[in-house]
Amino acid sequence: MEKKQFKAESKRLLDIVINSIYTNREIFLRELISNASDAIDKIYYKTLSDSSLIFNKGDYFIKLIPNMEERTLTIRDTGIGMTEAELEENLGVIAKSGSLQFKNENELKDGYDIIGQFGVGFYSAFLVADHVKVITKAFGGDKAFVWESDGVDGYTISEGEKDSFGTDIVLHLKENTEDENFDEYLNEYKLRSLIKKYSDFIRYPIKLDAKKSRLKEGSEDEYEEYIEEEIINSMVPLWRKNKKELTDEDYNNFYFEKRFGFDKPLKHIHISVDGMISYNSIMFIPENTPYDYYTKEYKKGLELYSNGVLIMEKCEELLPDYFGFVKGIVDSQDLSLNISRELLQHDRQLKRIAKNIKNKIKNELESMIKNDREAYEKFYKSFGRQLKYGVYDDFGANKDDLKDLIMFYSSKEKKMVTLNEYIERMPEDQKYIYYASGESNDRIEKMPQTEMVLDKGYEILYFTEDIDEFAIKMLQSYKEKEFKSVSAGDLGIENKEEETKANEENKDLFTGIKEALSGKVKEVKASSRLKKYPVCLSAEGELSIEMEKILNSMPNNEGVKSEKVLEINTGHEVFNSLKNAYSSDKDKFNLYVNLLYNQALLMEGLSIEDPTEFANDICKLMK
Ligand code: ADP
Ligand code: MG
């Protein structure tokens, strides 16, 4: 028998296929099953156009036959088969559809190292097999042919025996190595799990002989093993079914089967798009944060299918980071099966799908705010931080998509509110959206700086997470209203006249205080915003006191300092004592100034420089 050489190009290509396209060996099964399914499809289409033929569904199936003794795995189909010429063309010339050329072009242009879609799937058989035998008989033909190859050095074609049309692909598995156990592809459970993982939604039944045991007839405790043929795949994917026929439970089961999470999803989004690009998708909004969600370990992405066959378990490109919590699948017949990760990143179809999906998620979340507030609040507890990061990330590039989705705790409502809700009930004379930063709602409630804003009847948003103020700085304003920290120098509601007057009256005293604090504050001034409290700190400039705390709590911090202003309540009793001390007793004055300054630091949640001195100062006061 003459051994034919693969065409030169093919040889190279085969090498590439075997060694570099597929990092994951197990996909060989997906490829061969997909080919088998295509072969059955071809008969099906034939019967559609030829009324003398009938497609009897029961006759068409794919079967996996592992053989331990021979160490072979056979993939059998009852599809259209191949003639001798087709064998030669389809399996002898790799990527005859011009893919090598395609690959070369792309490699030159973009440095892709991988081929897209064109006719290489079959050769993935050599990822696990050292010898492949294809026994095939074409539909309507009378002779069977056998194609055999050990891989790179060529193939033979000869006449063979086969009863009915269709194809058997017989893989002789490679020898096991230290790292790799090829025997596992003979294992019933492994095969089952691979079918479930990659080929669950192939339209035709994929059968496997399952070993089972049963009570022997007539016996009460003796068992016998027997073989039963089982269909492993579920055939019709959930996302191809009609939404109207599906219940919440169907979706929840799917979420669970797919191991998207152990929680019950808060919402599912089921879309079928037909148009320039067609796809189906089912997505879920989970309730709980995965334990690794806010770590580097977490990988976002949706499962990507091409016509029901899994291409990729986590296609990152389909989700923006800020919606990284969404779980689900996308299936499109417009994507090719063995498209590589690198190629996908540039795929225009995929980009279009991703954009579409992003909008769907956004709309769904917005409608939850209106129509299912309870669910949204649960969701926000788990993933609100992610949304706020999203506002901040990429220099605010996505803030417009997210600004309606973020919420903060409100002094007025005592619950989470959206920015839109805040704006809608704002009194007409209110200039800013006020917020206060602090460790917790309780702490913020006690902040001296909130007094005046609250007295005015204005609502304050409480910022208790690190990211909050950074995100809002990125947002700058919402519906043309700027954000204003209650600790900022100028709240826009102070009694300016009163303040100016007090500042002038106490000019010397304030200079004295500033000197006594030797550079710790940038300014000392009278404040009309204080009622109960004698002093507070505010910040001038871009960096707030809260941001200073956050930045300095990071490793490698550069010890940034906000520009602090010591604000003094000139209407407070303590102020009189201070004034008296200033004119009569310098030591006492210094003592009072330090005490008040440290008090202000403590109320801000900042640490005082010298706690021992502070304690001693208090003792002095009590003597
Ligand atoms: P692709 O599936 O992308 O065309 P493959 O390398 O997987 O590329 O297969 C090459 C060709 O071999 C197929 O297009 C098909 O014509 C033929 N072929 C492969 N497997 C079978 C099969 N089980 N039955 C009939 N034809 C097959
Ligand atoms: Mg194929």
15: CA distance to ligand 2 center in Å? 17
Q: Does residue 398 lie within any of the structural domains?
A: no
CATH of the domain at 609: 1.20.120.790
For the Cβ of 83 lying below 6 angstroms from any atom of ligand 1, the answer is no
Q: Does residue 490 lie within any of the structural domains?
A: no
Q: Which residues are annotated as a binding site?
A: 31, 35, 77, 82, 90, 96-98, 117-122, 167, 341
Select from 215, 238, 235 the least CA-distant residue to 226.
215
pLDDT of residue 135: 98
36: CA distance to ligand 2 center in Å? 8
Domains identified in the chain, total number: 4
Q: Measured in whole angstroms, how far is the alpha carbon of residue 486 from the centre of its chain?
A: 35
The answer to whether residues 421 and 370 touch, using CB atoms and an 8 Å cutoff, is no
Looking at the structure, do residues 72 and 196 belong to the same domain, yes or no?
Answer: yes
For the Cβ of 122 lying below 6 angstroms from any atom of ligand 1, the answer is yes
Select from 368, 416, 376, 388 the least CA-distant residue to 322.
388
Q: Of the ligands numbered here, which is closest to the C-alpha atom of 137?
A: 1
Looking at the structure, do residues 279 and 208 belong to the same domain, yes or no?
Answer: no
- In angstroms, rounded to a whole number, what is the distance separating the alpha carbons of residues 210 and 192? 10
232: CA distance to ligand 2 center in Å? 21
**Sequence-distant (≥ 6) Cβ neighbours of residue 50 within 8 angstroms:** none
Looking at the structure, do residues 104 and 33 belong to the same domain, yes or no?
Answer: yes
For the Cβ of 569 lying below 6 angstroms from any atom of ligand 1, the answer is no
Measured in residues, the chain has a length of 623
For the Cβ of 338 lying below 6 angstroms from any atom of ligand 1, the answer is no
pLDDT of residue 20: 65
Q: What is the mean pLDDT of the chain?
A: 87
Ligand 1, pocket-test mutation among 30, 33, 35, most atoms within 8 A of CB: 35
34: CA distance to ligand 2 center in Å? 6
pLDDT of residue 621: 84
Q: Measured in whole angstroms, how far is the alpha carbon of residue 617 from the centre of its chain?
A: 54
91: CA distance to ligand 1 center in Å? 7
CATH of the domain at 469: 3.40.50.11260
pLDDT of residue 609: 84
Q: Stretch 230-249: mean pLDDT, rounded?
A: 90
Q: What domain range is 155 assigned to?
A: 8-231
For the Cβ of 166 lying below 6 angstroms from any atom of ligand 1, the answer is no
- In angstroms, rounded to a whole number, what is the distance separating the alpha carbons of residues 63 and 79? 12
Domain stop point among 461, 485, 509: 485
Q: Quick one: which atom of ligand 1 is closest to the CA of 336?
A: 3
Question: Is the confidence at residue 70, as pLDDT, over 60?
Answer: yes
Looking at the structure, do residues 520 and 611 belong to the same domain, yes or no?
Answer: yes
Select from 135, 141, 144, 122 the least CA-distant residue to 167.
135
Looking at the structure, do residues 464 and 528 belong to the same domain, yes or no?
Answer: no
Q: Quick one: which atom of ligand 1 is closest to the CA of 94?
A: 6
Q: Stretch 422-432: mean pLDDT, rounded?
A: 94
CATH of the domain at 246: 3.30.230.80
pLDDT of residue 23: 67
- 42-56, 424-438, 565-579: segment of lowest average pLDDT: 42-56
pLDDT grade, residue 287 (50/70/90)? very high
Q: Stretch 430-452: mean pLDDT, rounded?
A: 91
Percent of the residues in the chain that have a pLDDT greater than 70, as a whole number: 91
Looking at the structure, do residues 530 and 507 belong to the same domain, yes or no?
Answer: yes
Residue 395's identity, in one-letter code, is: F
Residue 298's identity, in one-letter code, is: Y
344: CA distance to ligand 1 center in Å? 23
- 20-34, 360-374, 421-435: segment of lowest average pLDDT: 20-34
Backbone phi, then psi, for 7, in 5-degree steps?
Answer: -55, 150
Looking at the structure, do residues 364 and 429 belong to the same domain, yes or no?
Answer: no
- In angstroms, rounded to a whole number, what is the distance separating the alpha carbons of residues 365 and 377? 11
Helix (H) or strand (E) holding 202: none
CATH of the domain at 179: 3.30.565.10
Q: Stretch 439-457: mean pLDDT, rounded?
A: 90
Q: Stretch 155-171: mean pLDDT, rounded?
A: 95
The answer to whether residues 182 and 130 touch, using CB atoms and an 8 Å cutoff, is no
The answer to whether residues 309 and 35 touch, using CB atoms and an 8 Å cutoff, is no
Selection from 165-169, 220-224, 303-307, 579-583 with the highest mean pLDDT: 165-169
The answer to whether residues 246 and 238 touch, using CB atoms and an 8 Å cutoff, is yes
Q: Of the ligands numbered here, which is closest to the C-alpha atom of 83?
A: 1
- In angstroms, rounded to a whole number, what is the distance separating the alpha carbons of residues 184 and 522? 72
Looking at the structure, do residues 243 and 219 belong to the same domain, yes or no?
Answer: no
Question: Is the confidence at residue 524, as pLDDT, over 90?
Answer: yes
Q: Does residue 393 lie within any of the structural domains?
A: no
The answer to whether residues 9 and 100 touch, using CB atoms and an 8 Å cutoff, is yes
For the Cβ of 120 lying below 6 angstroms from any atom of ligand 1, the answer is yes
168: CA distance to ligand 1 center in Å? 12
Give tens-digit pLDDT for 17-69: 666 666 688 989 988 998 898 888 888 877 877 888 888 888 999 999 999 99
Domain stop point among 456, 485, 514: 485
- In angstroms, rounded to a whole number, what is the distance separating the alpha carbons of residues 546 and 94? 64
Ligand 1, pocket-test mutation among 38, 44, 102, 135, most atoms within 8 A of CB: 38
Q: Does residue 399 lie within any of the structural domains?
A: no
Write out the two tokens for 337: 């099966």
- In angstroms, rounded to a whole number, what is the distance separating the alpha carbons of residues 285 and 327? 7
- 50-59, 110-119, 416-425, 436-445: segment of lowest average pLDDT: 110-119
Q: Does residue 87 lie within any of the structural domains?
A: yes
32: CA distance to ligand 1 center in Å? 8
**Sequence-distant (≥ 6) Cβ neighbours of residue 126 within 8 angstroms:** 14, 17, 18, 132, 151
Q: Does residue 397 lie within any of the structural domains?
A: no
**Sequence-distant (≥ 6) Cβ neighbours of residue 14 within 8 angstroms:** 6, 94, 123, 126, 151, 152
Q: Stretch 121-125: mean pLDDT, rounded?
A: 87
pLDDT grade, residue 235 (50/70/90)? confident
Q: Stretch 588-600: mean pLDDT, rounded?
A: 92
169: CA distance to ligand 2 center in Å? 13
119: CA distance to ligand 2 center in Å? 6
Q: Is 583 helix (H, G, I), strand (E, B) or coil?
A: helix
For the Cβ of 35 lying below 6 angstroms from any atom of ligand 1, the answer is yes
Q: Does residue 389 lie within any of the structural domains?
A: no
Q: Which residues are paired to 133 by β-bridges?
A: 148, 170
The answer to whether residues 175 and 131 touch, using CB atoms and an 8 Å cutoff, is no
Looking at the structure, do residues 202 and 322 belong to the same domain, yes or no?
Answer: no
How many CB atoms sit inside 10 A of residue 399's CB?
19
Looking at the structure, do residues 173 and 217 belong to the same domain, yes or no?
Answer: yes
Q: Does residue 192 lie within any of the structural domains?
A: yes
Residue 191's identity, in one-letter code, is: L
pLDDT of residue 270: 97
pLDDT of residue 541: 80
Give tens-digit pLDDT for 347-361: 888 999 999 999 999
- 118-132, 322-336, 430-444: segment of lowest average pLDDT: 118-132
Select from 299, 312, 367, 302 the least CA-distant residue to 339.
312
The answer to whether residues 283 and 361 touch, using CB atoms and an 8 Å cutoff, is yes
Looking at the structure, do residues 115 and 219 belong to the same domain, yes or no?
Answer: yes
Q: Which residues are annotated as a binding site for ATP?
A: 31, 35, 77, 82, 90, 96-98, 117-122, 167, 341
Which of the pair, 8 or 165, is modelled with greater confidence?
165
Q: Of the ligands numbered here, which is closest to the C-alpha atom of 13?
A: 1
Write out the two tokens for 5: 């050489």
pLDDT of residue 370: 95
- 106-115, 462-471, 575-584: segment of lowest average pLDDT: 106-115
For the Cβ of 78 lying below 6 angstroms from any atom of ligand 1, the answer is no
Percent of the residues in the chain that have a pLDDT greater than 90, as a whole number: 55
pLDDT of residue 342: 66
Selection from 85-94, 116-125, 418-427, 437-446 with the highest mean pLDDT: 418-427
pLDDT of residue 98: 32
For the Cβ of 278 lying below 6 angstroms from any atom of ligand 1, the answer is no
Which of the pair, 139 or 95, is modelled with greater confidence?
139
- In angstroms, rounded to a whole number, what is the distance separating the alpha carbons of residues 22 and 456? 66
For the Cβ of 92 lying below 6 angstroms from any atom of ligand 1, the answer is no
For the Cβ of 77 lying below 6 angstroms from any atom of ligand 1, the answer is yes
For the Cβ of 90 lying below 6 angstroms from any atom of ligand 1, the answer is yes
- 31-40, 285-294, 336-345, 451-460: segment of lowest average pLDDT: 336-345
pLDDT of residue 13: 67
Nearest CA to ligand 1 atom 4: 119
Looking at the structure, do residues 246 and 361 belong to the same domain, yes or no?
Answer: yes
Domain stop point among 459, 485, 511: 485
For the Cβ of 33 lying below 6 angstroms from any atom of ligand 1, the answer is no
Q: Of the ligands numbered here, which is closest to the C-alpha atom of 87?
A: 1
**Sequence-distant (≥ 6) Cβ neighbours of residue 206 within 8 angstroms:** 33, 61, 62, 63, 64, 195, 199, 231, 232, 233
Write out the two tokens for 582: 């200033």
pLDDT of residue 173: 97
